[in-house]
Chain A
């Protein structure tokens, strides 16, 4: 590293890094959305059950 002229070509590592960052945050957001969705389904189901019981 000491003797090279100009910047090293490390573009691939940068791309890998940003893929991880965007991918992980994206997956987490999807995970939250999915959990919300399944909870809302449960909620609808509970509403139904309660309506039947009433």
Chain B
């Protein structure tokens, strides 16, 4: 394995710095929400984590499609790396949402479309990992991963739609004016800055983690190959 590229080191430090700034913005700089109090501050990273989760799974589906079309291994590497990060952030998204819901909706869990869809999405990608673990042949593993990544990703909006037909109580903070959703609030200008900065920060974290994870995957594949040749010789 070659040394860590300079660009990646710089990116990692930059991301860390940006993350600290984002923490400052959401925890201290942004004003306290007038009704919900401090727990509303969870919202910034909650939405950002959800965004990264969805982005990661989209990347997996696209990388899988390109892999099937071209058969180049690097696209499969991107797909796996992205799934793992997506699982981590979707998990954060669900748990923080639940923590927020406890004081605001007075329950840890409701069967709201977004909650359920996020959870099913998480299960789909855990299944994706299990599918890959069950297959030894690397080429087949990559193909099956790509197929399931695409099938799973397509089913997510349908799942959301199907549960959406029930009434939702999840607040839509961005681009909605439904005042009846419990826990809805209007963002002040400062809040909006913190919100968009969080989105930016998490996207940056995603890219940095993806890069590191890709290098890990490369090393894993190299070692796997060398082990096989060592065993066969």
Contacts and interface: CB of A to CB of B under 8 A. Distances in A.
B95 A46 contact: no
A20 to B, nearest CB: 5
Contact of A49 (B42, B219, B220, B230): B230
B88 A20 contact: no
Contact of A17 (B37, B100, B209, B233): B100
B37 A10 contact: yes
B99 A16 contact: yes
B1 A7 contact: no
Interface of A is mostly: helix
Contacts of A35: 216, 220
Contact of B39 (A14, A36, A42): A14
A46 B100 contact: no
Interface of B is mostly: helix
B175 to A, nearest CB: 24
B205 interface: yes
Nearest to A22: B23
Interface string B190-218: 00000000000000010001001100100
Contact of B1 (A1, A6, A40, A49): A40
Interface in A1-54: 1, 4, 6-11, 13-14, 16-18, 20-21, 24-25, 28-29, 32, 35-36, 39-40, 42-43, 46, 49-50, 53
B46 interface: yes
A16 B92 CA distance: 12
Contacts of A8: 35-37, 39, 103
A17 to B, nearest CB: 4
Nearest to B102: A13
A11 B37 CA distance: 7
A28 B213 CA distance: 10
